[in-house]
Amino acid sequence: MAAASLPGKFLNRAPSIIPGFGLTMGITVSWLSFIVLLPLVALVLRATGIGFEGFAAMLGDQRVLSALKLSFGAALAGALINAFAGLIIAWVLVRYTFPGRRLVDGLIDLPFALPTAVSGLALAALYAPNGWLGVPLAELGIKVAFTPTGVVIACMFIGLPFVVRQVQPVLGDVDKALEEAAATLGATRVQTIFRVILPMILPALLAGFALAFARAVGEYGSIIFIAGNLPFKSEIAPLLIIIKLEEFNYEGATAIAVIMLLLSFAVLLAVNLLQSWGRRRTGLGS
């Protein structure tokens, strides 16, 4: 390429005859700075202006607390349900052959591909009091739309592929010989699954759980239509950020955003630690 790579040890680079390092690294760093780093710096700058009192005031606001509790609580519940269902789906997809397996496998990614506003509308229509699922659920005395349950349903919808796609490849890599060994040594199938296979896929399952959780915490589009957004009851934290912005309360919006980001990054850090721990332990899924 036209721009010769910079001589010497730019960024401590090992020598190579491949050209284009200067050009591609230049594009990468400048585009990354402009699109990702600069906006995040703006957030950090604004957050430092709020001070400790500002954050304390936000955390003392009952409405903010309820929203944060709902966002994190519903995301946790949704991710737990997804960990259970996702594990079974991954198991069935990897281990069994059955009619429509490829179709099922392809459909798992629907929540990734479907725009969040569309999933939001669809869930609201399904679980509305006169909806296909809302009517039978109402007869059972269960109200979903405009309640925290609706928020959990939306979190379940968007989080499912994370668990399945994390567990699937690792489960596929599990050596059948280990199961055969367990069976030969007299283990029942249930023992083999719980003592041999599950420990091996546990790190991937936890990683999928955490990714589903992190996604659901910040989710907006899929949730707001079904949630009904009643303050203190079914109002999620991302919506509260938008409400603060519309009131020109930039400090408030920034404070909620920073609190959410710090909590989410803690979760993602845990994911990375879990994954590297799992890889060291089992040598799978790397």
Partner 1 sequence: MSVSDNPVSETSFVRRALVTFVYGWLVLFLILPLVVVFVEALRQGIEPFFAALIEPDALTAIKLTLLVSAIAVPANLIFGLAASWAIAKFQFRGRNMLITLIDLPFSVSPVISGLVFVLLYGANGLFGQFLITHKLQIIFAVPGIVLATIFVTFPFVARQLIPLMQAQGNDEEEAALSLGATGFRTFLSVTLPNIKWALFYGVLLCNARAMGEFGAVSVVSGHIRGYTNTMPLHVEILYNEYNFVAAFAVASLLALLALVTLVLKSLLEWRDARNGKISAH
Least distance from partner 1 to the Cβ atom of residue 63, Å: 16
**Which token pair is 125?**
């229509």
| Cβ proximity to partner 1, 60 vs 100, nearer residue | 100
Any contact of residue 218 with partner 1 (CB under 8 A)?
yes
Measure the CA–CA gap between 164 and 80, rounded to whole angstroms: 13
Residue 217, classed as helix, strand or coil, is helix
* Residues between 14 and 53 that touch partner 1 (CB under 8 A): 14, 16-21, 23-25, 27-28, 31-32, 35-40, 42-43, 45-46
- Residue span binding partner 1 (CB under 8 A) among the ranges 50-58, 60-68, 139-147, 258-266: 258-266
- Residue span binding partner 1 (CB under 8 A) among the ranges 50-58, 130-138, 227-235, 276-284: 130-138
CB 217 within 8 Å of CB 77: no
- CA 4 to chain centroid: 41
Measure the CA–CA gap between 71 and 47, rounded to whole angstroms: 21
| Cβ proximity to partner 1, 127 vs 148, nearer residue | 127
Any contact of residue 106 with partner 1 (CB under 8 A)?
yes
CB 163 within 8 Å of CB 212: yes
Any contact of residue 130 with partner 1 (CB under 8 A)?
no
CB atoms within 10 A of CB 265: 11
* Dihedral sign of CA atoms 129, 133, 139, 143 in order: negative
Please identify which residue in 77, 152, 241, 274 interacts with partner 1, judged by CB under 8 A: 241
Least distance from partner 1 to the Cβ atom of residue 105, Å: 7
